[in-house]
């Protein structure tokens, strides 16, 4: 990654163990974020941590999440006079199950990104529209342009929050098990079982108007 732009490691993004798995390059971080659409949003509610799965989109160095204007964390992010919600947003892809001879060395191959920061409500209408397009396009690339855009009522009912990618890092594990040398001759199978999300045959709505073909971007998924 030498020469490429990187996020600055911070106290929070510098691991105390397995440092070789940490990565900060823009390209690496963005690729992991762009490969997904569900993040786990962490925030504090009444002094306790809460973790919720939710959709996200990325535009440049900004992550966008959305929800109903009635949703608790989104209300907190836009609260006046003291807006901003301390969050941690984590995106994880599991790539393989790592089976070692020893139970101890079992592991996963994965790619994850953890973003720390303060999320703020997006109030600029143009930024909000772009963010919502990015959210839809994360789920199915190309879909935002092939659906009815939000109308004024829908936009008013939807809150979008923004989280800058600054205090951010990726973590990646690849390869086989790291068994201890003295375990290599044990009579247990060892290796990696690859895993990936696979998309099935699209199921059209029962009430789909006749003559509407299956869009090409679905096949690309």
- Which 53-72 residues touch a copy of itself, going by CB under 8 A? 53, 55, 68, 70-72
Q: Least distance in Å: CB of 9 to a copy of itself?
A: 16
Gap between the Cα atoms of 199 and 69, Å rounded = 31
The distance of Cα 214 from the centroid of its chain, to the nearest Å, equals 27
Q: Considering the complex, state which of residue 70 and residue 81 has its C-beta at the smaller distance from a copy of itself.
A: 70
Gap between the Cα atoms of 198 and 119, Å rounded = 32
Q: For a copy of itself, which residue of 48, 80, 81, 152 counts as binding (CB under 8 A)?
A: 48
**Is the alpha carbon torsion for 198, 203, 209, 212 positive or negative?**
positive
Q: For a copy of itself, which residue of 23, 63, 88, 134 counts as binding (CB under 8 A)?
A: 88
End-to-end CA distance of the chain: 28
Q: Pick out residues in 115-134 that bind a copy of itself (CB under 8 A).
A: 116, 132-133
Q: Considering the complex, state which of residue 5 and residue 203 has its C-beta at the smaller distance from a copy of itself.
A: 203
Q: Least distance in Å: CB of 2 to a copy of itself?
A: 28
**Is the alpha carbon torsion for 107, 113, 115, 120 positive or negative?**
negative
Site size for a copy of itself (CB under 8 A): 94
Q: For a copy of itself, which residue of 106, 125, 156, 174 counts as binding (CB under 8 A)?
A: 106
Asked if 102 is part of the footprint of a copy of itself (rule: CB under 8 A), the reply reads yes
Mark the segment that binds a copy of itself (CB under 8 A) among 2-10, 21-29, 57-65, 82-90. Answer: 82-90
Q: Pick out residues in 25-44 that bind a copy of itself (CB under 8 A).
A: 38, 40-44
Q: Considering the complex, state which of residue 2 and residue 205 has its C-beta at the smaller distance from a copy of itself.
A: 205
Are the C-beta atoms of residues 187 and 146 closer than 8 Å to each other?
no
Binding mask 4-23 for a copy of itself (x = CB under 8 A): --------x---xx------
82-86: long-range pairs with CB below 8 Å, 24+: 83/120, 83/121, 84/118, 84/119, 84/120, 85/43, 85/118, 85/119, 85/120, 85/161, 86/43, 86/44, 86/117, 86/118
Are the C-beta atoms of residues 59 and 126 closer than 8 Å to each other?
no
Q: Pick out residues in 169-198 that bind a copy of itself (CB under 8 A).
A: 176-177, 179, 183-198
**Is the alpha carbon torsion for 93, 133, 161, 10 positive or negative?**
positive
Q: For a copy of itself, which residue of 10, 14, 123, 147 counts as binding (CB under 8 A)?
A: 147
Are the C-beta atoms of residues 58 and 33 closer than 8 Å to each other?
yes
């Amino acid at each position: 990654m030498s020469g490429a732009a990187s996020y600055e490691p911070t106290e929070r993004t510098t691991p105390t163990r397995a440092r070789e798995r940490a990565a900060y390059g823009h390209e690496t971080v963005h690729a992991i974020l762009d490969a997904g659409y569900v993040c786990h949003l962490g925030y504090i509610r009444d002094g306790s941590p809460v973790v919720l799965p939710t959709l996200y989109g990325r535009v440049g160095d900004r992550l966008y999440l959305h929800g109903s204007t009635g949703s608790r964390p989104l209300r907190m992010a836009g609260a006046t006079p003291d807006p901003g919600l301390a969050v941690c947003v984590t995106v994880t892809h599991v790539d393989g199950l790592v089976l070692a001879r020893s139970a101890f060395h079992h592991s996963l191959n994965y790619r994850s990104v953890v973003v720390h920061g303060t999320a703020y409500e997006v109030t600029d209408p143009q930024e909000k529209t772009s963010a919502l397009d990015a959210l839809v396009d994360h789920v199915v690339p190309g879909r935002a342009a092939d659906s009815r855009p939000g109308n004024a009522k829908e936009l008013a009912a939807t809150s979008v929050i923004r989280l800058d990618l600054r205090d951010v890092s990726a973590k990646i594990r690849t390869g086989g098990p790291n068994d201890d040398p003295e375990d290599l001759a044990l009579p247990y199978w060892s290796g990696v079982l690859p895993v990936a999300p696979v998309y099935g045959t699209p199921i059209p709505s029962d009430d789909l108007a006749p003559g509407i073909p299956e869009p090409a971007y679905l096949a690309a998924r």
